Amino acid sequence: MNAPRVVVVDNNASVRGALEELLTAAGYEVDTHASAESFLESGRLSSADCLLLDVKMPGMSGVELQEQLDRLDARIPIVFMTGHGKASIRNRALAAGVVEFLEKPFGDAALLAAIERALRTARP
């Protein structure tokens, strides 16, 4: 059985590197992207089991990527990560089916628990 593939989309290289290291050590396959556009162009939508998505990025935002995935009917469970936790964005994302909305900085245990919830949850 293959390990679940967690895709990290965050424009901050140090965040991507730290998450890749943590998730690999936790037994996940990890794919990282510096932008929403890079992820969409990767051709790997169908192989993603969970998406860790930064809310605020240059170009397409995390919320815009979520909306695009919904239009594509790509039912990838999403865990949002943000340093800009506005209640309106959080509420909109959760209403649209996001599994978790983590505010940076968050602990490893909280992140791993959110990923496990996401892997057990099918998006509506």
Number of folded domains that form the chain: 1
pLDDT bucket at 85, cuts 50 / 70 / 90: low
Q: Which of 21, 17, 11, 4 is nearest to 81 (CA)?
A: 11
For residue 29, the model assigns a pLDDT of: 97
Cα-trace Rg, the chain:
13
For residue 109, the model assigns a pLDDT of: 97
State the Cα–Cα distance between residues 89 and 93, nearest whole angstrom: 6
Task: Give the mean pLDDT of 96-112.
Answer: 91
For residue 116, give both structure tokens: 């496990």
Helices of type H across the chain: 13-25, 36-41, 62-71, 87-95, 108-120
For residue 123, the model assigns a pLDDT of: 45
**What CATH number is given to the structural domain containing 64?**
3.40.50.2300
For residue 48, the model assigns a pLDDT of: 94
Give CA angle at 123 (90, 12), nearest 5°. Answer: 50
Where in the sequence is the domain holding 99, given as residue range(s)? 5-120
Higher-confidence residue of 105 and 123: namely: 105
Edge-first strand order for the sheet with 5-9 is: 29-33, 5-9, 50-54, 78-82, 100-103
Check: CB of residue 65 under 8 Å from CB of residue 40: yes
26-72, pLDDT tens digit by residue? 999 999 999 999 999 999 899 999 999 999 999 999 989 999 999 99
**Is 117 in a helix, a strand, or coil?**
helix
For residue 87, the model assigns a pLDDT of: 79
Task: Give the mean pLDDT of 77-90.
Answer: 84
**Is 35 in a helix, a strand, or coil?**
coil
